Chains A and B, each alone.
Chain A
Amino acid sequence: MAVNLGQVVCQDKAIAGLQRAFATGRMPHAYLFSGQDGVGKFTTARAWAKMLLCQNRTQRAGEVPFADSCGRCPSCLLFESGAHPDFQTIYKELVVFTEDGKNKTPPVDMPVDVIREFLIEKIATRPQMSGHVVYVIQEAEKVNNSSQNAMLKVLEEPPPFCVIILICSRMEKMLPTILSRCHVVRFGPVAAGVIVQKLAEAGIEEPESGYWAGFSEGRLGQAIAWASLETKGDSPYLIKRALLERLAGATLPDVLEQAEWMGKAAKQIAAAWTAASENVSTTDINRRAQKGLIQMAMLALADALKLKTRATENLVNADQKAVIRQLADKYNPEHLALLVAQMAELTRWVDASVNEKLIFEQLLFNLTHSDIISLSVSSIG
C-alpha cells in the first residue's frame, strides 16, 4: 500500500526540503535518503515517486506549495497495485533474475550484476505513462565498491526524465564520489511520542510501548516489529524484564546458568522472528535475536551510567528503575562506560559468527568479573 506524501509521519523536515526543491523547479536527478532503518525512508521514497508520476497532482497552497498525488488517476491506481511501469525498485534479491543468476542464493551485498542490468542498462528507457522514470535503490549501503563505481556515470548525468533515489542507512559506507553527486536528504529519528502513539494503535500499552520506543532509538519500523513479535512463551518485553533482573543479580558462580537462559531466550525470539518474516536466512534471524538481547543489556548499563552521573532524563528502562539503580550501585561510572563498550564489542562478535553460548557467557563474565576477589576462610586452630 503506497501512502500519499501527506500521510508520512514525522518526516516533515525531509519532505519540506523535497517540496521546496520541487516547487522551485530545481529538482535534482539523484537523491540519497539517509537515516536509520525503519524511520520511513522507503515509505517516503514511494510516496515521492507516486507524486512525481501522478497525472493529476494536487497542490496545497502554503509558503511552499505542497504537491501530493491524487490517489485516483490511472497512474496512482497502478502505483498502488504495485505495477507502475515507470517505477523501478532495485534490491539485492533481484540477482536471481539477472542473466546468469538463476541459481544464486540471496546475497549479502548488492551484486554488481543487479546494478548493471536493472539500473545502468535500463536507464535510457523512456517513461511509458508519466513524465518520469523513478528508480529506487534499496539498501544502498550494501552496494559494494565496484558497484558504486559502476553507478557513478549514471548518477552524474542521467537522462533528463530519470529520478534515482538511493535508500541508505549507513552513509559512511558510500563513496564520497557518490555523495557529491546526490542530493542528500536526512531522515531523523521518529519522536518517541509518535512511536508510543503508533504502538498504542497496535494495542501495545505503557510501559511496554515506552520501552520499545527507547529501545528502537527512534526507528518506528523496528519498534513495531519487536513489540508485535508473537512468541510461544514470554513476550520479548517480559524477556527483557527478566533479563534485566538476572543481570542485576548476576554473580560469578551462576554465570553459566544465566548464559543458558539467555540462549533459550534468544531461541524463543528467533523463532518468533522466523514466524513473522519470510525469505530471511536463519543466520540473519538468529543474529538479530542475539543482538537484540545484547542491546537490551547495553541499554540497561547505559541507563545505569546515566543514573550514576545524575543525568536521569530519558532512561530507556524507566519501567525498571529499581533494577537499574541496583546495577548503578554495583559499578563505578568508569566501569559502566567500559561495560557498554564491551557490549558493543559483543555485538560485533555476533556478526563475526562467534558461538552464541560463548557470547552470552562473555557478556555475563564481563558483568561479574572483578579484579579483586574477597575470600573468607574459617580458622583451623
Chain B
Amino acid sequence: MAYTVLARRYRSQTFDDVLGQDVVAQTLRNAIAAGRVAHAYLFCGTRGCGKTTMARILAKSLNCLAADGPTVTPCLKCDSCIAINTGDDIDVIEIDGASNNKVENVRELTSNAIYRPARARFKIYIIDEVHMLTDSAFNALLKTLEEPPDHVKFIFATTEPNKVLATIQSRCQRFDFHNIPPDIVSTQVSKILKEEGISFEPDLLVHLARLANGSMRDALSLLDQLISAGTQPLNARQLIDLIGIPDRQKVTVLLTAIADHAASPVLQGLDALLLTGQSAAQICEAMIEIMREAMVFQCAGRDSALLVLTDEERTAMADLAGKFDIAGLVYNITALEKLRWTLKNSETSRALLEASLLRLALSEHFIGIDQLAAQVRAMPAGPVDVKKKSLTAVRSSGFSPLETPGGTFKPKACGCEDSEERPAPQDADALCRQWPQVAERVGRAVGAGLGLMLPQSRATAVKANALELSFPDTNTGPMARSICEERKAAIEKELSAVAGRPIALTLASPQTARPDEHADTDEPNAAELFEPEKPEQELFAPAKPTRQQRSDALNDPAVQMVLQGLNATPISIEKIETVLPAPESACNHPAIPDAEFEEYPTE
C-alpha cells in the first residue's frame, strides 16, 4: 500500500515550479545568485501554501552536490537532493517544532550546531510549526540565531507568526506567503488530473478552487478523496454527494425560503441539509458564506473576480441576491455569525438552529438608505417607513390585487420599476368581500407573523372607509387580536395602500363586538394624561373610569405595592364592566369589578 497522496507526490521541486509565490521565489533566487543568503528565514502563511516546500527547495539549492556552490537550479538527482526530498538528509535536519518544543530540544540543537556538515556545504535546520516552541525554547535559540556558525542556516515555517517572539522575528528574514489564488489552484488541479489520466468536468475545478480557500494542499486532499470515491468523469455533483460538503443548492433553497418568509420550507430545507451529515455549525457557516456571496454580488456585480462561481451558480446567485438587499444581508450575516459560536458549543444544536432560522424568516428586513431615499423622493409628502415590507407594498400598490379574483398576492420583488397607473380606490365593502386574500397580503407585508394571524379575523364594514375586525374565540384568536392591536398603525397603512384610500381600523373587543363604545369622550384630559401616545386606542377601548376612580385605583395599597416593588409605571387604567358575584382571587382575575392596570416593569 505504498500510495502517496497527491499533495506529497506533486510537491514542487524547483523555484520555477512553486505556484502562487512568485515574489518569495524570485527574492530567494536573487539572494542565491548574488551570494547574499541570510542565515535565518521565517516563512509564514496559511496551511498548504508552500512553506515547507519552499524550505526544502531552498535547502536543495544551497546543498546540491552537482554544483560547486549554491545554485538556483538544484539537480534533483544527487544524493543530497534525493535525501532532502524524502526528509532524511543528515545535513538538512527537519524538525517538527510542535513535538520538539521544549528548551532541552533547543539546547541539543544549539550544541550540535557547531559541528560541520557531513557532506554538503551547509547544515540546515528546518523547523516546521515553529510557533509551538515554548517561550524559553525561543529564548534559548536567540544567541545561536543571531550569530550562528558560517555553515548553519535556519529556516522556520509557521502558520501563526504572531506567536513567534519579536526577538526571533527580528533575527530572521520574514517572508509572508500569499494564499494561492483560485485560478492557479484550478490550473494546477487540471494539470494533475491530466497527468493522472483522469477525466473530469470543468465545473469541478471551480468548486475545488473555492473549497481549497487558498491552500493547494486542501485542494489536492479533496481531489484525492474525490478520485478514490468517485467514478469518472469526475464532476462537482460527486464532490458534494460523496465528500459531503454542504450542498450549495440546498443551502440556496433554504435561504430562498427564509427570504420568502415561508416557515415550513425553512424547516424542510434544514432537514435536508442535516440528513447529509452536516453539523449545524457547518450549515450556519455555509449560509454565511453564501450570504456573503450574495452581498458581494449586489455590491460588485455579477462578474466580480471576488466571486469564485461557475456560470450556472452566478445565475442562481442573481435570483437569490435579488430577494435580499444589502442591509438585510448584513443583518442576517451578523445574526448568523453570532449564532455560530453558540452552535459550536451547544449539543442540542438542531432545535436552536431551527428556531433561529424561523426567527430570521419571520423578521422584517430593513431597507437600505438608498432605497429609503428613493422612497422619500417618490412620495415627498407621505409618511416614510423604514421596513422593507412597507416599501414592497407601496411599490406594488401600482397594481390592484383585488382586480384578479382568487389570485395570490405576491409582494413584488424589490425591483426598480416605476409604479404604473393608480387603481380605482376600493371601499371597505370591497375589502370585506375579499378579506381572506387581503388579510394575508396585508399581514405578510406588516410581518410579525401577521400573515398567518390576520386571515383568522372576520371583517365587517362600518363606514365606507372604516373596517372593524373581530377575532374568533379560539385559542389563537386573542393573541392574534393583541398582535393586531400592537401593529394597528402599520396594518392601517397597508390596508390604505391596498384600497387606494385611507382606511380606519377598529378591533372588536374580545367578548362581544360593540361598535357603539367608540363614541366615548368621557374625561378626555385624563385619557391624554395617561395615554399620550395611543390616541387611537380610544376608538375601541372599554369605558374610561372617572378621575375619582382612577385615583382610587392608583392609591390602592396593592397597586402601590406593585408600583414600588417593581419600580413600575402605570400605562393604562381601565374599567372592567363585567360584574360577577363572589370575587375569589385578587390576582389577574377579570371577575373583579373595578379597574385594571397594565404595567411595565422598568428595567
Contact = CB atoms under 8 A, between A and B. Distances in A.
Contact of B597 (A132, A187, A338, A374): A374
Contact of B362 (A14, A150, A173, A309): A309
B592 A377 contact: yes
B282 A332 contact: no
A376 B595 CA distance: 6
A13 B275 CA distance: 11
Contacts of B278: 186
B96 A298 contact: no
Interface string B402-413: 000000000000
B47 A177 contact: yes
Contact of B267 (A314, A332, A337): A314
Interface stretch (A94-102, A152-160, A193-201, A270-278): A152-160
A305 B355 CA distance: 7
Interface stretch (B25-33, B324-332, B346-354): B346-354
A333 interface: yes
Nearest to A350: B347
A332 B277 contact: no
A28 B350 contact: no
Nearest to B131: A149
B356 interface: yes
A375 B559 contact: yes
B199 to A, nearest CB: 15
B20 interface: no
B396 interface: no
A294 B282 CA distance: 24
Contact of B129 (A132, A152, A291): A152
Contacts of B586: 376-378
B102 to A, nearest CB: 11
A27 B228 contact: yes
B479 A17 contact: no
Nearest to B585: A376
B274 A189 contact: yes
A343 B348 CA distance: 10
A333 B363 CA distance: 10
Contacts, number: 261
Interface stretch (A18-26, A255-263, A358-366): A18-26
A228 B99 CA distance: 44
B513 interface: no
B8 A157 contact: yes
A27 B267 contact: no
Interface string A370-381: 011111111111
Interface string A131-143: 1100000000000
A329 interface: yes
Given A20-B228, A373-B601, A380 B588 contact: no
Interface in A99-150: 116, 120, 131-132, 146, 149-150
Interface in B547-597: 549, 552-553, 556, 558-559, 562, 566, 568, 576, 583, 586-590, 592-597
A181 interface: yes
A305 B358 contact: yes
A333 B47 contact: no
B170 interface: no
Contact of B217 (A157, A180, A329, A348): A180
A376 B449 contact: no
A184 B545 CA distance: 71
B48 interface: yes
Interface in B22-70: 46-48
**Max chain B Cβ within 10 angstroms of own Cβ: one of A291, A294, A376:** A376
A334 B359 contact: yes
Contact of A337 (B358, B593, B598): B358
A310 B452 contact: yes
A162 to B, nearest CB: 10
Given A157-B87, A340-B355, A28 B593 contact: no
A341 B589 contact: no
A309 B5 contact: no
B282 A171 contact: yes
Contacts of A189: 274-275, 277
B137 to A, nearest CB: 13
B79 interface: no
A348 B344 CA distance: 11
A372 B600 contact: yes
Given A26-B228, A184-B243, A377 B215 contact: no
Contact of A377 (B48, B355, B566, B595): B595
A189 to B, nearest CB: 7
A188 interface: yes
Contacts of A336: 355
Contact of B3 (A26, A308, A340, A376): A26
B428 interface: no
**Max chain A Cβ within 10 angstroms of own Cβ: one of B101, B267, B549:** B267
Given A187-B277, A341-B355, A17 B593 contact: no
Nearest to B362: A333
B277 A309 contact: no
B452 A116 contact: no
Given A302-B351, A378-B594, A309 B346 contact: no
B345 interface: yes
Contact of A344 (B352, B483, B556, B568): B352
A161 B1 contact: yes
Given A298-B352, A310-B263, A347-B346, A377 B358 contact: no
**Max chain A Cβ within 10 angstroms of own Cβ: one of B101, B346, B576:** B346
Interface string B222-254: 001101111000000000001110000000000
A240 interface: no
A183 B475 contact: no
A375 B348 CA distance: 38
Contacts of B479: 329, 332
Nearest to A115: B99
Interface in A298-343: 298-299, 301-302, 305-306, 308-311, 313-314, 325, 329, 332-334, 336-338, 340-341, 343
Contacts of B228: 20-21, 24, 26-28, 183
Contacts of B48: 180
A35 interface: yes
A294 B363 CA distance: 26
A345 B99 CA distance: 37
Given A183-B221, A378-B586, A347 B348 contact: yes
B498 to A, nearest CB: 23
A208 interface: no
Contacts of B47: 176-177, 180
Contacts of B276: 186, 188
Nearest to A132: B1
B264 interface: yes
Interface string B130-164: 00100000000000000000000000000100000
B303 interface: no
A334 B244 contact: no
B597 A313 contact: no
B297 to A, nearest CB: 26
B566 to A, nearest CB: 7
20 contacts: A20-B228, A27-B228, A35-B277, A150-B96, A153-B96, A176-B47, A180-B215, A180-B218, A186-B244, A217-B348, A302-B354, A305-B354, A311-B267, A351-B345, A371-B601, A373-B599, A375-B559, A375-B588, A376-B588, A379-B595
Given A120-B99, A150-B98, A302-B351, 5 more contacts: A17-B225, A17-B229, A152-B129, A188-B274, A299-B348
The 9 closest A-B pairs by CB, nearest first: A309-B263, A188-B277, A21-B228, A340-B355, A149-B98, A337-B359, A186-B277, A311-B264, A379-B594
Interface of B: 1-3, 5, 8, 46-48, 87, 96, 98-99, 101, 128-129, 132, 159, 215, 217-218, 221, 224-225, 227-230, 242-244, 263-264, 266-268, 271, 274-279, 281-282, 342, 344-348, 350-352, 354-356, 358-359, 362-363, 448-449, 452, 475-476, 479, 483, 549, 552-553, 556, 558-559, 562, 566, 568, 576, 583, 586-590, 592-601
